[in-house]
Structure 1
Amino acid sequence: MAETHTTATQPVEAWITGIGLASSLSEGLDAHWQALNERRVNADATTFAPYVVHPLAPISFDQQIPKKGDQRQMEAWQRIGTYAAGLALDSAGIKGNKDILSKMDMIVAAGGGERDLAVDSAILNSEGQGNASPGYLNERLMNDLRPTLFLAQLSNLLAGNIAIVHGVTGSSRTFMGEEAAGTDAARIALARIAAGQSDIALIGAAQNGERKDLLMLYEFGDFNLKNAYQPVWARDGQPGFALGSGAAFVVIESRQHAEARGAKPLARLTNVVADLSHRKQPGDVTATLEKLWKKLGSPDNASAIITGATGAAPATAEERAFLEKHPGIAVRATGTSFGHLMESQFPLGLALAALAISRGALFPANDPTGLEIDTSAPPTQIVVVGAGHWRGEGMALVEAVS
């Protein structure tokens, strides 16, 4: 049960004090910062041809998940997420601190889990060959699936594994809803801290993009990038996203809580806003993003915009139209370097914004179209933008702590 807090009379300042990243580029903050500054991209157009994916970089999961038994019972996305969550706790300086972890709230954005392709294939082959007796499907599902593969609980398994492995045992929430779930994880965590209902929270998400079942699912909607890798803004002639494997977790806590334990901020999370455009008329996404921009306080003097633009049509073209209404602000699309991480895309944007502010620099542009511009000015205010490939829009304001 979550700890009871008194409601604050004034909004509480929220700091980002920890970041955990694992992706196709690398793992950890220093390695990611180097990769971004080198404009490195790890894209694979052959393994799942014709689909392009950003495969997970080599990781030794033992470093954050020491028990092999824990690793074996997790699906790949759970291992990736539990690993990145451990990195975030390390970054915040609270790994193994039972007093803090026992009160730490957790909000995870999650998909529906992974299919067991061997079981699915055996069932479909038997059905297709006429070898399936009455009750065959139920018998196979009961006998062949892992005990943990219970469909109603799949999305909760990442939070459960983080609690087991790392001891994060305050309140726990799991949101579903693709990109919008990641936005809401940040929005709700900030709202609870600002209201004095939470002192410290771990938020984030994970995805294994190297999955034939996931590629098939998105191919039904014609969302996949095919044949050759291109940076996000260069996909006009061939729109689509390249799924990425990775995870992003962020520790958010009240300034008072951080100062009491001597923690230093990477950045301040000032505001998170979200909306759901109807997307029935051309320009609906552009109009919704403009509305969110105003709700965020019209930060036209922002140092940069970090966007999770997917590359899918028509959402990305409409997002680009919004960005072009705010010229002079340096734009960075995370999908170019990381691929599309779905639920993780917005937490990834928050993590990179806080990292850039803490390093006193914005990583360089990686865009042949000219939309992204380089800047040498230390960023003090970064807007994180997320427009889902199908539904959901969100924005966050991340600022330097003076």
Structure 2
Amino acid sequence: MTRKAVITGLGATTPIGADVPTFWQNALQGVSGARPLEQEWVAEYELPVRFAAQLAEAPGEKLSRVELKRMDPTTQYGVIAAREAWADAGLSEDAVEAERLTVSFGTGIGGVWTLLDGWDTLRNKGPRRVLPMTVPMLMPNGPAAAISLDLGARGGARTPVSACASGTEALDMARRLIENGEADVVISGGTEAAIHPLPIAAFAAMQALSKRNDDPQAASRPYDKDRDGFVLGEGAGALIIESEEHARARGARIYGELAGTAVTSDSFHITAPDDEGLGAARALRQALSVAGAEPTDVVHVNAHATSTPVGDRPEYVAMKSVFGDHVDNIAVSATKSQTGHLLGASGAIESILTVLALHEGKAPLTINLDHQDPEIPLDVVTGTPRALPEGQKVAISNSFGFGGHNSVAVFRSV
């Protein structure tokens, strides 16, 4: 019999909260994490976009000086989130066999700061000044490896790298490991630390970023007629995915069930989504099928909703094709309006919000939606949090990434 995968711990460091309780409360209040960048390199490189959604708390508040020196920021963020999730789950070394404990932690870009700083050092100071830890710091699997070392996971340390779908694809891997009996506990999630001049310049060059330098907090505008791009964010989210049997045997608190996941690809364009949302729709249908849920069971969706002119509509088209008229009954939250777009970490932090929406019975806010695009007639949660129906509920988190990656997670309340 297939085992159920449940969520027993949550951890996060984000632009609107350095821990899950703060993150959740600010998501309900509509707090924006976007603010001007004050680093000298903004003027030095004459960047066209001069703001981003930076972490609410510097990692040095939770990590030692040695840890900061030996970890790229993307690893720092992942370790911080994983430690909080581990503690929140009430886990210890004695609570799970090391060989039955696995890490599945994604990133979209990886150690960009270490890579580019190392290149600058090589050019300006020569090879002898390049740090010996450069390679383990820059490699995309660095966060998963560091979490495995930190928490004693010997069942594997895996790293999905699928752009902005990475965090949700890590959950897909975690669910499969639990349901197939390959692990009892999986530390899953995503992390990203790409607020660096090169990614900002590159995203701006492709017209993906909002250029509202005069009003950063109003820049991320999912579904709004005046949306002009996303706001780059940073941070990490971690979820402890555990077999229900293992969780109940140790008396763990269960937030909800990771009932279904799916991964598909568009095979359409390297950056643009399929106009008809065909790959996204297939991912939604497959994830619901795995969960044993009907489209009419869904009460809430945390949408990918990046605020790009070309990206928001195909997601609606996909949802409409799957949910039909029931789409009008689904409370949709587009929380990147608050957090910015955390790339490979976005699916992880948005899954945390989806899990908490079910657990607490209310959906978080979408801000900056002043004039909704008539081509995207979703029932978007604005103004105040939306109460969700009583009883068992199903909610979805969508993630889509450059390269045509689609990943969907379906959660069920318990």
* TM-score, normalised via structure 2 length: 0.82
CA contact (8 A) 1:293 1:299 kept: no
Out of 295-304 and 256-265, give the one that drifted further.
295-304
Give me the whole-angstrom Cα distance separating, in 1, the residues matched to 2:202 and 2:9.
34
Give me the whole-angstrom Cα distance separating, in 1, the residues matched to 2:152 and 2:61.
16
Match for 1:19 among 10, 30, 41? 10
Corresponding position: 1:89 with 2:86: yes
Corresponding position: 1:159 with 2:137: no
Q: How does 1:152-231 map to 2 (within 5 A)?
A: 154-228=139-213, 229=216, 230-231=219-220
Give me the whole-angstrom Cα distance separating, in 2, the residues matched to 1:113 and 1:188.
22
1:237 is displaced (CA, Å) by 4.3
Match for 1:306 among 298, 302, 310? 302
1:319 is displaced (CA, Å) by 1.4
CA shift in 2, pair 1:235/1:113, >3 Å:
farther
Q: How does 1:359-370 map to 2 (within 5 A)?
A: 359-366=360-367, 367-370=369-372
1:20 is displaced (CA, Å) by 0.5
1:316 is displaced (CA, Å) by 2.2
CA contact (8 A) 1:107 1:204 kept: yes
1:30 is displaced (CA, Å) by 1.7
CA shift in 2, pair 1:71/1:278, >3 Å:
same
RMSD of equivalent CA atoms: 2.7
Counterpart residue number, 1:318:
314
AA matched with 2:334: A
Counterpart residue number, 2:375:
none
1:291-324 CA distances to partner (integer Å, 9 max, x unpaired)? Answer: 2332224423311100222223423221133345
CA shift in 2, pair 1:345/1:191, >3 Å:
same
* TM-score, normalised via structure 1 length: 0.84
Q: How does 1:284-299 map to 2 (within 5 A)?
A: 284-295=275-286, 296-297=288-289, 298-299=294-295
Give me the whole-angstrom Cα distance separating, in 2, the residues matched to 1:327 and 1:50.
38
Corresponding position: 1:382 with 2:395: yes
1:78 is displaced (CA, Å) by 1.2
Match for 1:145 among 94, 107, 130? 130
CA shift in 2, pair 1:201/1:346, >3 Å:
same
Counterpart residue number, 1:132:
none
1:11 is displaced (CA, Å) by 1.5
1:5-64 CA distances to partner (integer Å, 9 max, x unpaired)? Answer: xxxxx211110111101101112222112211211002124544532310101246454x
Give me the whole-angstrom Cα distance separating, in 1, the residues matched to 2:364 and 2:351.
14
Give me the whole-angstrom Cα distance separating, in 2, the residues matched to 1:32 and 1:282.
29
Match for 1:113 among 99, 111, 114? 111
Give me the whole-angstrom Cα distance separating, in 2, the residues matched to 1:107 and 1:285.
31
Counterpart residue number, 1:255:
244
AA matched with 2:91: I
Give me the whole-angstrom Cα distance separating, in 1, the residues matched to 2:21 and 2:4.
27
CA contact (8 A) 2:48 2:204 kept: no
Instruction: Report the 3-state secondary structure (helix = DSSP H, G, I; strand = E; otherwise coil) of the residue aligned with 2:208.
Output: coil
Counterpart residue number, 1:56:
55
Give me the whole-angstrom Cα distance separating, in 1, the residues matched to 2:32 and 2:2.
40
Task: Flag as ranges the 4+ runs of structure 1 deviating above 6 A.
Answer: none
CA contact (8 A) 1:241 1:310 kept: yes
Counterpart residue number, 1:79:
76
Give me the whole-angstrom Cα distance separating, in 1, the residues matched to 2:95 and 2:140.
25
Q: Runs of 5+ in structure 1 lacking a partner?
A: 1-9, 127-138
1:256-292 CA distances to partner (integer Å, 9 max, x unpaired)? Answer: 0101111121010010011111235985452222223
Give me the whole-angstrom Cα distance separating, in 1, the residues matched to 2:162 and 2:301.
23
1:45-90 CA distances to partner (integer Å, 9 max, x unpaired)? Answer: 4544532310101246454x4x431221111121111101101101
CA shift in 2, pair 1:73/1:84, >3 Å:
same
1:239 is displaced (CA, Å) by 3.0
Q: Runs of 5+ in structure 2 lacking a partner?
A: 373-377
Give me the whole-angstrom Cα distance separating, in 2, the residues matched to 1:156 and 1:122.
23
AA matched with 1:31: T
CA shift in 2, pair 1:282/1:243, >3 Å:
closer
1:153 is displaced (CA, Å) by 6.2
CA shift in 2, pair 1:195/1:236, >3 Å:
same
Instruction: Report the 3-state secondary structure (helix = DSSP H, G, I; strand = E; otherwise coil) of the residue aligned with 1:250.
Output: strand
Corresponding position: 1:393 with 2:393: no
CA contact (8 A) 1:180 1:391 kept: no
Instruction: Report the 3-state secondary structure (helix = DSSP H, G, I; strand = E; otherwise coil) of the residue aligned with 1:16.
Output: strand
Counterpart residue number, 1:266:
255
Task: Report the identity percentage.
Answer: 21
Give me the whole-angstrom Cα distance separating, in 1, the residues matched to 2:76 and 2:386.
36
Instruction: Report the 3-state secondary structure (helix = DSSP H, G, I; strand = E; otherwise coil) of the residue aligned with 1:86.
Output: helix
CA shift in 2, pair 1:384/1:234, >3 Å:
closer
Give me the whole-angstrom Cα distance separating, in 1, the residues matched to 2:303 and 2:57.
26
CA contact (8 A) 2:72 2:113 kept: no
